Amino acid sequence: QVQLVESGGGLVQAGGSLRLSCAASGSIFSIKVVGWYRQAPGKEREWVATINTSSKAFYADSVKGRFTISRDNAKNTAYLQMNSLKPEDTAVYYCNFPTSGVPWGQGTQVTVSS
């Protein structure tokens, strides 16, 4: 019954910024690790960032220094602030609880033009 809803994607030029949101319903958000993932056309879904219950963040090398993951437990929401976007960041972005088995949401499309 847990539902994940991603939002905030869009079209942006290289070097621009976007902030993605992940709203979770039907879950105990504050005690769960949250991760962001992305899937580009023709590629497998890959891990982007994770934030644990103590708000410690981890990032894939490809986004380190450009993306920031955060969470607001009172709102059951996680965020991904994306700066200095590159065309290779173009993908559908998803959030989830790692290894939880929770169904993936519909994701939000991020398109970076050059």
User: Which phi-psi region, left, alpha or beta, contains residue 48 (left: φ > 0; alpha: ψ -120 to 50)?
Assistant: alpha
- Residue located via tokens 């994607």: 9
**53 to each of 16, 19, 33, 87, how far by Cα in Å?**
29, 21, 6, 31
User: Which phi-psi region, left, alpha or beta, contains residue 99 (left: φ > 0; alpha: ψ -120 to 50)?
Assistant: left
Tens of each residue's pLDDT in the chain, 114 residues? 899 999 999 999 999 999 999 999 987 888 899 999 999 999 999 999 999 999 999 999 999 999 999 999 999 999 999 999 999 999 999 999 999 999 999 999 999 999
